[in-house]
Amino acid sequence: MCGRFARRSTHEVLADWFGIESEEMPFFAPTYNAAPQSVQPVVRLSAHTGKREFALMRWGLVPFWAKDAKLGLSTINARAEEAASKPLFREALKRRRCLVPADGFYEWLKLEWQRHPFHIRRRDRRPFAFAGVWGRWQPKHALPIERFTILTCPPSDLVRPLHDRMPVILPAAAWEPWLSPDADAADLRALLVPWAGDELEAVPVSSAVNRADHEGADCVREVPRPVARQLSLLAT
121 DSSP assignment: E
- Burial pattern 177-208, b for ≥16 Cβ within 10 A else e, equals bbbeeeeeeeebeebbebbeeeebebbbbbeb
pLDDT at 33: 97
Q: What is the mean pLDDT of each run of 10 residues along the chain (236 residues)?
A: 92 93 88 95 93 96 76 84 91 95 95 90 96 88 87 96 96 96 91 93 95 94 78 56
pLDDT at 234: 60
pLDDT at 200: 97
pLDDT at 1: 73
- Dihedral angle sign, alpha carbons of residues 170, 1, 185, 61: negative
Counting residues of the chain whose pLDDT is more than 70, the rounded percentage is 93
Of the candidates 53, 107, 146, 215, the residue annotated as catalytic is 107
Task: For each of the domains in the chain, give its residue range(s) and CATH number, in order of start.
Answer: 5-234 (3.90.1680.10)
Is 2 among the catalytic positions? yes
pLDDT single digits (tens) 13-44: 999 999 998 888 999 999 999 999 999 999 99
pLDDT at 41: 96
